[in-house]
Homo-oligomer: A and B are copies of this chain.
């Protein structure tokens, strides 16, 4: 994820970052412009007066296509935000687990270091697990199993009362829920026929545009079509990019940072000396 100042207008208008849709769409925009100019040339010099100019069709469909794409972007944004929310919950669950274990286990207890390692490792492994598409073994599950086992061992040895086991239960359960939530987002793109339809619709909309606009706007059509194409295709591109937020594209979530941060904070609470001063 790129850190940026959302309030710097000029910076953002004239910056052409590699994840900027303007830069990525440039080749396609040139093709659209050439195609439109070709139609305009044909209309004026090769087959004059064969077309009937109208903006009515594109006004009518413009409404549907805009709504569809805005909704598409919003659905993708919700997936992105849900991904962010899940990683936020991972931070929270790790933190609550560390806070509670710190309070329940005496200073210097030998399990502190192991538990801190396991909590930190869960975030790291989940991050890797979501980046590779196929994995032989489910590493996050394995670490979760070790966490559960260690906590159950402390309980059966009498070092953690049953009530404390219950206090830890929601935070321990959260790990598998978060992992499942991320896998769900990662493995489920929007329905196939929806995706097919959207791309076909954008294509038909843009390709038919010069035929309807050329009689009225001549060579200006190239500019208009290109601008409209830029807007519609950008929306679809942005949606595609953010709907799966666990890779390492520019818009993807900073899972590296979050995982590192979890490791640090958990170690701070469970292992480092400062816990001693605190009380």
| Contact surface of A with B, Cβ cutoff 8 Å | 1-2, 4, 6-7, 9, 12-13, 15, 17, 19-22, 52, 54-64, 66-71, 73-75, 77, 80, 84-85, 88-89, 91-92, 95-96, 99-100, 102-104, 138, 141-142, 144-146, 148-149, 151-152, 155, 161-167, 169-171, 173, 176-177, 179-181, 183-184, 188-197, 199-201, 203-204, 208, 216-218, 220, 224, 227-228, 230-232, 234-235, 237-238, 240-243, 250-251, 265, 268-269, 275, 278-279
Collect the chain B residues with CB atoms within 8 Å of residue A192's CB: 1-2, 4, 17, 19, 250-251
Contact (Cβ within 8 A) A4 B195: yes
Contact (Cβ within 8 A) A196 B138: no
Chain B: CB-nearest residue to A149: B103
Collect the chain B residues with CB atoms within 8 Å of residue A144's CB: 99
- A-B contact list, 7 entries, CB within 8 Å: A13-B203, A20-B197, A52-B217, A67-B67, A95-B180, A96-B177, A166-B169
Given contacts A75-B77, A91-B180, A224-B57, contact A200 B12 (CB under 8 A): yes
Contact (Cβ within 8 A) A177 B77: no
Contact (Cβ within 8 A) B71 A191: no
A89 to chain B, nearest CB (A): 7
Measured between alpha carbons, how far is A56 from B56 in the docked complex, in Å?
9
Contact (Cβ within 8 A) B242 A194: yes
Contact (Cβ within 8 A) B21 A197: yes
Collect the chain B residues with CB atoms within 8 Å of residue A77's CB: 75, 190-191, 194
Collect the chain B residues with CB atoms within 8 Å of residue A180's CB: 88-89, 91-92, 95
Measured between alpha carbons, how far is A267 from B138 in the docked complex, in Å?
13
A241 to chain B, nearest CB (A): 6
A193 to chain B, nearest CB (A): 5
Contact (Cβ within 8 A) B268 A138: yes
Residue of B85, B162, B177 touching A163 (CB-CB under 8 A): B162
Collect the chain B residues with CB atoms within 8 Å of residue A265's CB: 138, 141
Collect the chain B residues with CB atoms within 8 Å of residue A176's CB: 92, 95-96, 99
Contact (Cβ within 8 A) A278 B102: no
Measured between alpha carbons, how far is A237 from B149 in the docked complex, in Å?
50
Collect the chain B residues with CB atoms within 8 Å of residue A100's CB: 148
Collect the chain B residues with CB atoms within 8 Å of residue A61's CB: 227-228, 231
Measured between alpha carbons, how far is A57 from B69 in the docked complex, in Å?
18
